[in-house]
Structure 1
Amino acid sequence: MAFTNILFALFILQLVLISLSSSIQAVSAAKSNLIFREYIGSQFKNVKFSDVPIPSNIEFHFILSFAIDYTASLSSPSPTNGKFNIFWDTNNLNPDEISAIKAMYPNVRVALSLGGAVVEGQDVYFQASSINSWISNAVSSLTNIIKQYNLDGIDIDYEQFQADPDTFAQCIGGLVSTLKQNGLISFASIAPFDNADVQSHYQALWKSHGELIDYVNFQFYAYDKGTTVSQFIDHFTEQTENYNGGKILASFISDGSGGLSPENGFFTACARLKSRGQLGGIFVWTADDSKELGFEYEKQALALLAIPH
């Protein structure tokens, strides 16, 4: 009798384990394969990581804005040939805060963005005295920042250039390749927009080093403010062709100043792209402005991304 009871107990345990395994697989299957990314810190509006709504079932990237290869002097910052300094809100977005948000949310990754448009009212340009010297300086300076802040990736957001497309491609490609080979970053992204000079530089980078770029944060909000849903989808299709094989993310700007806004059909467009299997995810510029809106649109974006295909 005792032996029979043991066999019965083992049988029941086996059923429980099978049921538990099925439940785990179901939870795993429900996890979205899309990504959400948000730029943060460039406008010094005291926004914190913990202010932003973060779900548990979506890979979530914060992108610190910006690290710039300019002198740190805010009175007259000038190019430094690849020697990067921090120009984001370090009072609120510092190493301790990064460690805390990662401990709270295992699905959170933090990257830094390189470049940007302006610093202290001055235009930011990509410049390089030589390819080798720029890469050497960039690897050295960014290695220090990445280690200090426990970062996971980099984003390339240069928007103005005083170097030809091939030099840009070789410098950025060499930087990303070295940082990945050294185990310092696990992903890299680019943030182009529809401008002839900008596209020529990023297309050169994509052609020579596209295999190193994990995400394309295309700035769809740089299109006209009156963009319609159908125009947005056309733009998305065009950029999917330009960055063939890339993971293209849709985007909106929090203040509604350009492109297709959340109020006028952005989520409708994203839902259509998602239903076709074309949407890689969504990113937002920027948490600094979204804080004033209570992150209303981020919540809608996250809800859309969380729905399984």
Structure 2
Amino acid sequence: MELLKLLITLFILQAFLPTTTLIQAAPTNSNLFREYIGAMFKSVRFTDVPINPDVELHFILSFAIDYDTSSSPSPTNGKFNIFWDSANLSPSEVSSIKRRHSNVKVALSLGGDTVASRFAYFSPSSVDSWVSNAVSSLTRIIKEYNLDGIDIDYEHFHGDPHTFSECIGRLISTLKRNKVISFASIAPYDDEQVQKRYLALWKSYGHLIDYVNFQFYAYDKGTTVSQFMNYFMTQTSNYNGGKVLVSFLSDGSRGLSPDDGFFTACSRLKSQKKLHGIFIWCADDSKANGFLYEKQSQALLANPH
């Protein structure tokens, strides 16, 4: 009799386990606000940016780039160096802003668009050597600056999607395992070559990626609210299970701008419990208008309704 009960129990568990493991968490909003800072060298400081105490705020230093002029023939060997405005965004400034605001964390972004007026290519000679160099060089920078996470923003590539996936995936995995970082994000946009690589990374290592900083501002200027909502649903499907953040450019030159309905779209997503956060490119440009959109974004995120 006991054996029969055990067999019945095992049969029930086996029948139900596949469906229960596919159940995803209920949709939910977030008060996460993220901002890239330091790439344009406009002397912007952390203290210039308004900080609402009711949001979780991530500054993302831009950029750390594996560009080593002493390396030949390839300067992209995983040995990262600082290419942000370190005079105004120094280790002491990081410590100070985090000390003054318990809701602030600081990350660094890898790659970016250009370096020394040339495209910043992801072009490793081998997965093993790139990962080894990247873990070593980034650990040093992250500890020196007392940082909390990394963001992946490579936009130009040599090599195949699998190599990108393995290099970045193993880098994130190692840094998290070593407790060097507590979160990681990726920053793809809607370009075929870009998406091939980030989706390969997501397929293999998505469980290690906390946020998807999707560059919705890479879409055409004049994007409508309804188009934006469709873009959001498409990318939410692409990065299934991920926290896809919405975004805009400070200067409004592309995508759906704050003046043309961005916050309307955010309110719609919030009513659907799909607003996982907002990020802006970038604080350097926002300085010109007194960080007006930062204040609006944070107020929207902080409002519980």
What TM-score, normalized by structure 2, do the two folds share? 0.89
Instruction: Return the alpha-carbon distance in structure 2 between the equivalents of residues 86 and 80 of structure 1.
Output: 14
Deviation at 1:181, TM superposition (A): 0.3
AA partner of residue 249 (structure 1): L
Match in the other structure for 1:255:
251
**1:37 and 2:34 equivalent?**
yes
- Within a 5 Å distance, the mapping from 1:67-106 to structure 2 comes to 67-71=64-68, 79-106=75-102
Deviations 1:167-203 (A, max 9, x none): 0000000000000000000000000000000000000
Instruction: Return the alpha-carbon distance in structure 1 between the equivalents of residues 148 and 73 of structure 2.
Output: 27
Match in the other structure for 1:50:
47
> Structure 1 residue aligned with 2:59, among 51, 62, 68?
62
AA partner of residue 298 (structure 2): L
> Structure 2 residue aligned with 1:178, among 171, 174, 178?
174
> Structure 2 residue aligned with 1:128, among 109, 124, 129?
124
Structure 2's unaligned 5+ residue stretches are: 1-28
Give the structure, 1 or 2, with the largest relative contact order (CA under 8 Å, sep 6 or more): 2
Runs (4+) of structure 1 exceeding 6 A deviation are none
AA partner of residue 126 (structure 2): S
Structure 1's unaligned 5+ residue stretches are: 1-31
**1:242 and 2:242 equivalent?**
no
Q: Sequence identity of aligned pairs in percent?
A: 69
Deviation at 1:266, TM superposition (A): 0.2
- Within a 5 Å distance, the mapping from 1:211-290 to structure 2 comes to 211-290=207-286
Match in the other structure for 1:191:
187
Is the CA contact 2:76–2:122 (under 8 Å) kept in the aligned structure 1?
no
Distance change >3 Å, CA 90–CA 77, structure 1 → 2 = farther
What secondary structure sits across from 2:157 in the alignment? coil
Instruction: Return the alpha-carbon distance in structure 2 between the equivalents of residues 246 and 239 of structure 1.
Output: 10
What TM-score, normalized by structure 1, do the two folds share? 0.87
Match in the other structure for 1:16:
none
AA partner of residue 52 (structure 1): V
> How many residues are treated as equivalent by the alignment?
276
Is the CA contact 2:68–2:77 (under 8 Å) kept in the aligned structure 1?
no
RMSD between aligned alpha carbons?
1.4
Match in the other structure for 1:23:
none
Deviations 1:198-251 (A, max 9, x none): 000000000000000000000000000010000000000000000000001000
What secondary structure sits across from 2:62 in the alignment? strand
Is the CA contact 1:249–1:282 (under 8 Å) kept in the aligned structure 2?
yes
Match in the other structure for 1:6:
none
Instruction: Return the alpha-carbon distance in structure 2 between the equivalents of residues 202 and 171 of structure 1.
Output: 12
Instruction: Return the alpha-carbon distance in structure 2 between the equivalents of residues 127 and 308 of structure 1.
Output: 44
Match in the other structure for 2:146:
150
Deviations 1:262-297 (A, max 9, x none): 000000000000110111000000000000110001
- Greater radius of gyration (CA): 1
Instruction: Return the alpha-carbon distance in structure 1 between the equivalents of residues 274 and 75 of structure 2.
Output: 38
Instruction: Return the alpha-carbon distance in structure 1 between the equivalents of residues 185 and 212 of structure 2.
Output: 6
Match in the other structure for 1:301:
297
**1:168 and 2:164 equivalent?**
yes
Match in the other structure for 2:6:
none
Instruction: Return the alpha-carbon distance in structure 2 between the equivalents of residues 96 and 193 of structure 1.
Output: 33
Instruction: Return the alpha-carbon distance in structure 2 between the equivalents of residues 72 and 102 of structure 1.
Output: 33
Deviation at 1:72, TM superposition (A): 5.8
Is the CA contact 1:220–1:250 (under 8 Å) kept in the aligned structure 2?
yes
Deviation at 1:80, TM superposition (A): 3.3
Instruction: Return the alpha-carbon distance in structure 1 between the equivalents of residues 92 and 238 of structure 2.
Output: 39
